[in-house]
Amino acid sequence: MLTVKNISKIYGETIQYEALKDINFMIEEGEFVAIMGPSGSGKSTLLNILATIDTPTSGTVTLNEENPHQLNSEQIAVFRREKLGFVFQSFNLLPTLTVEENIVLPLTLSGESVRVMKRKVAEIAPKLGIEQLLHKRISEISGGQAQRVAVARAMIHHPQLVLADEPTGNLDTKASKDVMRLFKQLNEEEQATLLMVTHDPLSASYCRRILFIKDGKLISDIHQASTQEVFYQEIMQQLAHLEGINDEF
């Protein structure tokens, strides 16, 4: 469904920095994948390229055989709005709007009818446990609730791919677990395809698969084959290896 082929990204002209180096992977429809790696490894650059916020220096990204980087700016805006969903660490919700108005924003921008928007909100709000919050302002709800609203906004138009950038970064432990359980539920029950950048191994353990990046290179790719607890330990071992901790002993 998503194919990343020979992606490289170089910044600068006189002094060049290669943020990504020949990245290759595929994500099937319905997968729940995390990207992990040390600070400066290139994971955010990769996410920005997938989100069409940045462009690769070389290589191709295709989503269901469409390469968004070949589109003009107006077409890219439509592609991003209709085929991608976004969940950010800082929520990126509009404080002057109600919860419901924030959720339907992608549909509003696409010119959807009020009747359809109301129906879709009625469908998704109970799944995320926010049906009692629809008429509240963002300033009146908690951080965990705000992230649920952000997830609803990302899912309301049934995107082909949901991209999440450190979605639990501003949440406490309980709210983080609630949001990750929500992602897992959406993946399993709605077959949502999710790709998440995270530094948190506990959050990553809710995924089915982890891509590890270091120094702009894809180092390893592991799948959950047993329990979440076992997968968490595998993630910790991979992170220790990436940081060179295993080599110290």
DSSP assignment string, 4-49:
EEEEEEEE-SSS-EEEEEEEEEEE-TT-EEEEE-STTSSHHHHHHH
* CB-CB contact of 192 with 198 (8 Å): no
* CB-CB contact of 19 with 9 (8 Å): yes
All structural domains of the chain with their residue ranges: 2-248
Q: What is the pLDDT of residues 6-32, one digit of tens each?
A: 999 999 888 899 999 999 999 999 999
- DSSP 8-state code for residue 70: G
**pLDDT at residue 228 above 90?**
yes
Q: What is the pLDDT of residues 138-195, one digit of tens each?
A: 989 998 899 899 999 999 988 999 999 999 888 889 889 998 999 999 999 889 999 9
* CB-CB contact of 212 with 237 (8 Å): no
**C-alpha torsion 86→90→92→95, nearest 10:** 150
How many whole angstroms separate alpha carbon 146 and alpha carbon 226?
Answer: 32
**pLDDT at residue 92 above 90?**
no
Report the relative pairing of strands 17-27 and 2-11 from DSSP bridges. antiparallel
Enter the pTM of the model.
Answer: 0.90
Q: 3-state DSSP call for residue 207?
A: coil
In order of 7, 143, 207, 242, the CA distances from 215 in angstroms are 14, 33, 23, 10
The CATH code belonging to domain 2-248 is 3.40.50.300
Q: Average the pLDDT over 204-226 and give the result.
A: 95
Phi/psi at 97 (5° precision) = -100, 160
**What is the torsional sign of CA 27, 28, 29, 33?**
negative
